[in-house]
Structure 1
């Protein structure tokens, strides 16, 4: 369902209020899950009146749909160069995402995915299409260039990099890129070096 279907026509919508509410909704959900995802809690978090929310969204499910659709899932362009640099950049982007507010939201969605399968499955499909398959294309190109072995499985390699970063972030093995960018990049580089050893072409 498209967002902003609730309420009646009248004065123009203030885009700043919509942005505040979407951010507040993301924070409330990451903190409290579906059970705490109420207009009252979101209005309190956003410091806006409930009528401002009711004018824009007909129900909490409509608001959640808008939050999911508002996420910018296409990552920034990776560094162009050799595959090690590209995979290191992918690892860094993944680490930043996991440690961000959006990352907390995604982890909560993952935990509660079974409770809202239609809505959340669509979100994860967007994650796969916009992030995984774009990153996968970089690996395929590296195989074509001869940087990686023909036996390399692009899906498994990308999943290995992003999955290892996720575990590293959750276990606090990796430095936060926002506070220690140099150490975070070094860690991601070491992780990538370890993972690609088995798929480098024979010399």
Structure 2
């Protein structure tokens, strides 16, 4: 009988394998959509063997569920300034997201939402309940403080700002927050001023 101390050990398991596979799965989905979302493609992108995936996930649907759950989008930190400063921060966070791999992933999920089933719906429900609700609460607080008039609609204000930033990125009108952060912040400031109105922006 071979002593446990001298028994040959197999290849040690990589403690970071889950993170590597989730990132690889996100990239495979970005490149190939659901049709190309296979264990073979993901294992190749992650640089691991397929058995490592089968030990952790029973199917590609289960793996995609894990990718979506781990794809946490964190709200922008609210500054101690007024609502204009807070909304500019939201616009900048949206701009940074739209120029990132995480943002590209969210947009692709959105474009294939009808074919992604319940798991894609759950992803967007989390997106709304965390990000949009947080941003909307900042506008409501500004209304309560008297910075904005009671007739202003928080949902419309937030969507007008984030939507303008996203469309500006898609049409290559918004400056890159990485290449030119000052121009990006100025762009976000103009968007916020237009949505709030010149009088609110100046106050």
Whether these two folds match at TM > 0.5 is yes
2 CA distance for matches of 1:129 and 1:198? 30
Deviation of 1:199 after TM superposition, in Å, equals: 8.5
Return the TM-score normalized by structure 2: 0.90
Deviations 1:43-79 (A, max 9, x none): 1111111111111111000000000000122224122
Deviation of 1:13 after TM superposition, in Å, equals: 5.9
Structure with the larger RCO, 1 or 2 (CA within 8 Å, 6+ apart):
1
2 CA distance for matches of 1:123 and 1:12? 34
Deviation of 1:12 after TM superposition, in Å, equals: 8.7
Aligned residues: 193
Check conservation: 1:149, 1:200, Cα contact below 8 A: no
Q: Alpha carbon RMSD of aligned pairs, Å?
A: 2.0
User: After the TM superposition, which residues 25-64 of structure 1 pair with which residues of structure 2 at under 5 Å, given as runs?
Assistant: 25-64=25-64
2 CA distance for matches of 1:13 and 1:59? 21
Moved more, 94-103 or 68-77: 68-77
User: After the TM superposition, which residues 2-151 of structure 1 pair with which residues of structure 2 at under 5 Å, given as runs?
Assistant: 14-151=14-151
1 CA distance for matches of 2:13 and 2:129? 32
Deviation of 1:103 after TM superposition, in Å, equals: 0.8
User: After the TM superposition, which residues 145-184 of structure 1 pair with which residues of structure 2 at under 5 Å, given as runs?
Assistant: 145-184=145-184
Moved more, 137-146 or 67-76: 67-76
Name the SS for the 2:35 alignment partner: helix
Check conservation: 2:76, 2:89, Cα contact below 8 A: no
The answer for unaligned runs of 5 or more in structure 1 is 1-10
Deviation of 1:176 after TM superposition, in Å, equals: 1.3
Check conservation: 2:139, 2:154, Cα contact below 8 A: yes
Name the SS for the 1:175 alignment partner: coil
Q: Which portions of structure 1, spanning 4 or more consecutive aligned residues, are displaced by more than 3 angstroms?
A: 11-15, 198-201
2 CA distance for matches of 1:70 and 1:133? 19
2 CA distance for matches of 1:117 and 1:154? 30
Return the TM-score normalized by structure 1: 0.90
Name the SS for the 1:51 alignment partner: helix
